[in-house]
Amino acid sequence: MAIHPVIMCGGAGTRLWPVSNQACPKQFHRLVSDKSVFQETVLRFAGQPGFHPEPVIISNAAYADLIAEQLAAIGVTASAILLEPEGRNTAAVAAVAARYLAGAHPGGLGLLVPSDHFIGRPDTFLDALRAAAPAAQSGFITTFGIAPSRPDTGFGYIQAGSVIEGPVARVAAFKEKPDAATAAAYLASGAYSWNAGIFLFRPETMLTELAAHAPAILENSSAALAGARVDGACHYLEPAAFAATPSNSVDYAVMEHTAHAAVYAPLDCAWSDIGTWAMVAEVSHRRNAPPVIEIDTADCVVHAADGQLVALVGVDDLIVVADGNRILVTRKSRSQDVGAVVKALKERGLKDFL
Amino acid sequence: MAIHPVIMCGGAGTRLWPVSNQACPKQFHRLVSDKSVFQETVLRFAGQPGFHPEPVIISNAAYADLIAEQLAAIGVTASAILLEPEGRNTAAVAAVAARYLAGAHPGGLGLLVPSDHFIGRPDTFLDALRAAAPAAQSGFITTFGIAPSRPDTGFGYIQAGSVIEGPVARVAAFKEKPDAATAAAYLASGAYSWNAGIFLFRPETMLTELAAHAPAILENSSAALAGARVDGACHYLEPAAFAATPSNSVDYAVMEHTAHAAVYAPLDCAWSDIGTWAMVAEVSHRRNAPPVIEIDTADCVVHAADGQLVALVGVDDLIVVADGNRILVTRKSRSQDVGAVVKALKERGLKDFL
């Protein structure tokens, strides 16, 4: 009853410009350590008792080479690399992953996990996954609720209901990103946790629930996998079927409808979605980072490409990111607005700098 | 009685790092316009009535190629390019220039002028030089006093004495860089102006005064020119003789001792020594500058190399300079401290970033 990590690495955001972009998004960069965030995610499970040694990778076909290179560099072999011709959100990912695992690894559990998160206490994280396995085995799709450390309005929340066993409870409700007052009330109540977008399940459970609540997603995704062109570990999903797959999140398509939603909470594993440069700075521990010269500065964060040097004179509270020909300077408190740079670049036709 | 511009371009400072460095100092960069500061200085005199069409260039031999390229790009031929094996300060420059002009262009006037200053009203500047020519012709070494616009403590001052003719007066005193209170008193009095380091003189006058007050400088400099290896317009000063030349400024070696010092003042020609990035920003009018993305920013200045893009989010009052692999971020009010970066780079052995 091994847990099969299914590592989702197809997305690309804009708030970590200039390092993260469509061509090489966040997860493939050495943001936090001397390995990429994707490599750190893969290695988190490698050789750990209870986890299958060969993860499943699911991503966009554009990243096939990046994935192969980065897996080779850490000596990990994938069970399969499932490659989408285009993004169809996480419900399609769950469908393809469940279908693949049900065929290739019957009897295992699937663990859908984002590739672009930081986890400061991996042992706590792995213990939680193992502790949630019996509930998943018994037919629950188990999510993981991060213990909130602040009234954050940037995450969805999970409200825990009646206890199933230990820290695993039925889900009482999924909550959209709240306003500040609601987030404060959630934090005070203790019954709400951050939805980390991690799911542990029997593949058969996921397939049954998709069939019940999102049949078009299941049918088209399944057809795309069945018709995939296979090249070594790579499965290139059949484009026409995948294009016909409705785009929806697993939360909306399945979790809000199923009677079998569970949550492990609170999970206190020093988790961060490292969604902004300020968050990256909080957890980064790169060694051999490029040099920085600071003259009379305070509370600044610098992230530079190899071979680039940043000098700061008489400034404070700044984030400076240098990535070759693209340089970002922002106040720490404004790093969530970096996506506006990408928007402006597109509007001005400055595609070379995206 | 043509005026022969002698353009001094051998120096290299540190406050305009990362653009200006030993390999290619300030004057050879397009800081203010789409031409280099050196080219702007040369072109200021080109084709102007009263000025010889072929300037004299005096610099370090290391910059021979840069000078040749930049002169060719603007279609100017030099009368001579006098190349020092090492820097010996401005008295040696004055000696070599005067000796060269006395031999090559007898009867002309020499105009010693820095290559790295900005002049916003060149016509006013040129008119002042022409107006000072009779005094120079009659045997005065005439300096030019910039009308002070603020109580600046970063310049030497010239105190004007008895009037010779019009705006040209005898020099009552040269004053070292003053403290703030003294600078304020100078500004209030109206008799003091900034020493711009510009000198107009008969070459014979300069040679006579050097012989009287700095004979070792004159003798060795003269020997270095007499023994120079000549290659086209380039005169490579003889190294041994030039090395034996004492290093001193023309102010200390000659001007403070001669009875023939005059000053044209006030010269109100929108002059700036563009010594810091803040000063560069005040006068810069580059066209076709690389693009900048600004989101919620105010009062920021960006100077980037071709092909580099800087994005600012939620910051104000910053100077950001990107020059390939070297990036500077400083508060405007601190740009005079940028030299500390160069010092730190040397101390840390980071020579690649100088």
Radius of gyration of chain B (CA): 20
pLDDT confidence of residue B285: 82
Residues of chain A positioned with their CB less than 8 A from the CB of B304: 327
Residues of chain A positioned with their CB less than 8 A from the CB of B292: none
Distances (CA, A) of A301 to A36, A120, B245: 19, 20, 49
Select the residue of B293, B308, B340 nearest A313 (Cβ to Cβ). Answer: B340
* CB proximity B335 to A under 8 Å: yes
B169 contacts B263 by C-beta, under 8 angstroms: yes
* CB proximity A332 to B under 8 Å: no
Ramachandran region of residue A50, left (φ > 0), alpha (ψ -120 to 50) or beta? left
Distance from CA of B299 to the nearest CA of A (A): 14
Residues of chain A positioned with their CB less than 8 A from the CB of B325: 307-309
pLDDT confidence of residue A237: 98
d(CA A234, CA A219) in angstroms, rounded, equals 21
pLDDT confidence of residue A21: 92
Which chain B residue has the Cα nearest residue A297? Answer: B330
Distance from CA of A8 to the nearest CA of B (A): 30
Reduced to 3 states (helix: H, G, I; strand: E, B; else coil), residue B81 is strand
B329:A329 CB<8 A = yes
Task: Point out which residues pair with B234 in neighbouring strands.
Answer: B81, B231
Q: Which of A19, A20, A1, A17 is nearest to A9 (CA)?
A: A20
Distances (CA, A) of B23 to A2, A157, A325, B60, B86: 62, 58, 22, 11, 14
Residues of chain A positioned with their CB less than 8 A from the CB of B341: 293, 295, 311, 313
B341:A295 CB<8 A = yes
* CB proximity A249 to B under 8 Å: no
Select the residue of B312, B337, B345 nearest A329 (Cβ to Cβ). Answer: B312
Residues of chain B positioned with their CB less than 8 A from the CB of A295: 337, 340-341, 344
Which chain B residue has the Cα nearest residue A347? Answer: B293
Ramachandran region of residue A192, left (φ > 0), alpha (ψ -120 to 50) or beta? beta
Question: What's the pLDDT tens digit per position in B40-55?
Answer: 999 999 999 999 999 9
B347 contacts A330 by C-beta, under 8 angstroms: no
Write down all domains in chain A, each with its CATH number in brackets.
Answer: 3-272 (3.90.550.10), 289-353 (no CATH)
d(CA A20, CA A335) in angstroms, rounded, equals 14
* CB proximity B311 to A under 8 Å: yes
B332 contacts B318 by C-beta, under 8 angstroms: yes
pLDDT confidence of residue A287: 72
DSSP β-ladder status, A318-323 and A301-304:
parallel
For each of chain A's 354 residues, which pLDDT tens digit applies? 799 999 999 988 899 999 999 999 999 999 999 999 999 999 999 999 999 999 999 999 999 999 999 999 999 999 999 999 999 999 999 999 999 999 999 999 999 999 999 999 999 999 999 999 999 999 999 999 999 999 999 899 999 999 999 999 999 999 999 999 999 999 999 999 999 999 999 999 999 999 999 999 999 999 999 999 999 999 999 999 999 999 999 999 999 999 999 999 999 999 999 999 999 999 988 776 788 999 999 999 999 999 999 999 999 999 999 999 999 999 999 999 999 999 999 999 999 999
Which chain B residue has the Cα nearest residue A317? Answer: B315
In our burial notation (b when 16+ CB lie closer than 10 A, e otherwise), range B123-157 reads: eebbebbebbbebbbeebbbbbbbebeebbeebeb
pLDDT confidence of residue B129: 98
B311:A296 CB<8 A = no
Distance from CA of B284 to the nearest CA of A (A): 21
Q: Which of B185, B208, B183, B205 is nearest to B194 (CA)?
A: B183
Select the residue of B308, B311, B329 nearest A318 (Cβ to Cβ). Answer: B329
Where are the alpha helices (H) located in A89-140, listed in sequence order? 89-104, 122-137
Distances (CA, A) of B194 to B129, B156, B310, B325: 16, 6, 36, 37
pLDDT confidence of residue B287: 72
Residue with tokens 């072999």: A77
Size of chain A in residues: 354
B61 contacts B78 by C-beta, under 8 angstroms: no
Helices vs strands, H then E, count in chain A: 11, 18
pLDDT confidence of residue A83: 98
pTM above 0.90, yes or no: no
Q: Residue B234 corresponds to which amino acid?
A: C
* CB proximity A207 to B under 8 Å: no
Residues of chain B positioned with their CB less than 8 A from the CB of A330: 312-315
Under the banding of pLDDT at 50, 70 and 90, the label for residue B269 is very high
Q: What does pLDDT average to over chain B?
A: 96
Reduced to 3 states (helix: H, G, I; strand: E, B; else coil), residue B351 is helix
Burial class (CB in 10 A: 0-12, 13-18, 19+), B288: exposed
Ramachandran region of residue A127, left (φ > 0), alpha (ψ -120 to 50) or beta? alpha
DSSP B152-167: -SSS-EEEEEEEEETT
A10 contacts A318 by C-beta, under 8 angstroms: no
A327:B311 CB<8 A = yes
Q: Which of A71, A80, A72 is nearest to A108 (CA)?
A: A80
A313:B348 CB<8 A = no
User: For residue A179, what are the contacts with CB-CB under 8 A and spacing of at least 6?
Assistant: A153
Tally A–B CB contacts below 8 A. Answer: 133
Residue among B313, B331, B336 with most chain A CBs within 10 A, to mutate: B313
**What are the φ/ψ torsions at residue A330 (nearest 5 degrees)?**
-145, 155
Burial class (CB in 10 A: 0-12, 13-18, 19+), B347: exposed
A327:B340 CB<8 A = no
Select the residue of B295, B313, B330 nearest A313 (Cβ to Cβ). Answer: B330
CA B168 to chain centroid, in Å, comes to: 22
A334:B313 CB<8 A = yes
* CB proximity A292 to B under 8 Å: no
B293 contacts B309 by C-beta, under 8 angstroms: yes
pLDDT confidence of residue B289: 76
B293:A344 CB<8 A = yes
Distances (CA, A) of B263 to B141, B222, B266: 8, 27, 9
A20 contacts A257 by C-beta, under 8 angstroms: no
B36 contacts B70 by C-beta, under 8 angstroms: yes
Distance from CA of B324 to the nearest CA of A (A): 7
Which chain A residue has the Cα nearest residue B291? Answer: A350
Question: What's the pLDDT tens digit per position in B158-186?
Answer: 999 999 999 999 999 999 999 999 999 99
What percent of chain B has a predicted confidence (pLDDT) above 90?
95
Find the Cα–Cα–Cα–Cα dihedral A121, A127, A130, A134, rounded to 10°: -130
